[in-house]
């Protein structure tokens, strides 16, 4: 019986891996050096996901909360899957406020694992609001973990949540997720966010680093990858820290 159970489990894992393979490959779909197709697609997808989320005011990120964020990162269609031991993988885009509005985009990777009662897979959109300079510094470090180096809390949702000030005291980063149409704040821990070197080289060559792009506004991105910061500007036009003072 034990041998039979082991064989069945092994067969299930093979089938699961075969099914997850194409999805993970799509999450890792990159253009070659100098090819803007991959980064442009990621920026477009992030813009679309953010637009869909903000399109329902009663369930969206409150404007007061969004206007207080220094940076916004979106990871659309992050793939989650596993059997007991789970994993997730996704690509995302982040833009920060500057004296001139939203910065050119920086491209990111998201990865993480979990252990527990889980089976199968799903696609999830994640949104992260970086609320203060400490959170921004984590973002500039090129690699950090949520709940580790950076404190994270579930973000408030809807108009009524915007009236509360509790969210200001909770964390450096507020996190949200949307799966199967349900959008809510989520306390997502154990996830690692890092800079996507291949997309960054494709867009900015060897001259692009996160600080120059996100804070100092020293780099101008090609029009093909500007969909995400432009979409942010539709919902929050407040300038960054330098422009507020």
pLDDT at position 147 is 81
Q: Which tens digits make up the pLDDT trace of 77-124?
A: 886 544 444 456 789 999 999 888 899 999 999 987 543 333 445 678
Determine contact, residues 193/146, Cβ cutoff 8 Å: yes
Axis crossing angle, helix 37-54 with helix 227-235, rounded to the nearest 10: 20
pLDDT at position 54 is 93
Render the chain in DSSP notation, one character per residue. -HHHHHHHHHHHHHHHHHHHHHHHHHHT--PPTT--HHHHHHHHHHHHHHHHHHT-GGGS--HHHHHH-SEEEEEEEEEEEEEEEEEEEEEEEEEEEETTEEPPPEEEEEEEEEEEEEEEEEEEEEEEEE-SHHHHHHHHTSEEEBTTTB-EEEPP-HHHHHT--THHHH-SEEEEEEETTEEEE----SEEEEE-HHHHHHHHGGG--HHHHHTS------GGG-HHHHHHHHH-----HHHH-
pLDDT at position 163 is 53
Q: Which tens digits make up the pLDDT trace of 156-209?
A: 888 656 555 566 666 789 999 888 778 888 877 788 999 999 999 999 987 668
- Predicted confidence band at 233 (pLDDT cuts at 50, 70, 90)? very high
pLDDT at position 12 is 32
- Cα four-point dihedral sign 164, 170, 174, 178: negative
Determine contact, residues 172/145, Cβ cutoff 8 Å: no
- Predicted confidence band at 224 (pLDDT cuts at 50, 70, 90)? very high
Average pLDDT over all residues of the chain: 76
Say if residue 218's pLDDT is above 90. no
**Backbone φ, ψ for residue 50 (5° rounding):** -65, -40
pLDDT at position 109 is 92
CA distance 99 to 244: 8
pLDDT at position 89 is 76
Residues pairing with 72 in the sheet: 95, 129
pLDDT at position 34 is 67
- Predicted confidence band at 141 (pLDDT cuts at 50, 70, 90)? confident
Average the pLDDT over each of 21-30, 57-66, 187-196 and give the range with the smallest value.
Answer: 21-30
Q: Which pTM value belongs to this model?
A: 0.78
């Amino acid at each position: 019986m034990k041998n039979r159970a082991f064989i069945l489990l092994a067969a299930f894992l093979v089938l699961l891996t075969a099914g997850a393979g194409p999805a993970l490959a799509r999450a890792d779909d990159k253009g070659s050096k100098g090819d803007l197709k991959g980064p442009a697609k990621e920026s477009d997808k992030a813009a679309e996901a953010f637009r869909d989320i903000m399109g329902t005011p009663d369930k969206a990120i409150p404007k007061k909360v969004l206007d207080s964020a220094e940076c916004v990162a979106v990871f659309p269609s992050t793939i989650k899957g596993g059997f007991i031991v789970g994993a997730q993988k996704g690509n995302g885009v982040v833009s920060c406020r500057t004296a001139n509005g939203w910065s050119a985009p920086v491209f990111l990777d998201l990865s993480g694992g979990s252990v527990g009662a889980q089976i199968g897979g799903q696609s999830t959109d994640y949104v992260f609001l970086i609320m203060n300079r400490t959170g921004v510094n984590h973002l500039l470090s090129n690699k950090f973990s949520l709940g580790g180096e950076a404190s994270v809390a579930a973000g408030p949702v809807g108009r009524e949540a915007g009236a509360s000030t509790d969210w200001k005291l909770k964390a450096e980063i507020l996190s949200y997720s949307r799966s199967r149409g349900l959008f809510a704040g989520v306390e997502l821990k154990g996830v690692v966010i890092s800079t996507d070197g291949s997309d960054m080289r494709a867009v900015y060559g060897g001259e692009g680093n996160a600080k120059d792009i996100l804070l100092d506004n020293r780099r101008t991105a090609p029009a093909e990858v500007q969909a995400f910061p432009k979409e942010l500007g539709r919902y929050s036009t407040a300038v960054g820290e330098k422009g507020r003072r």
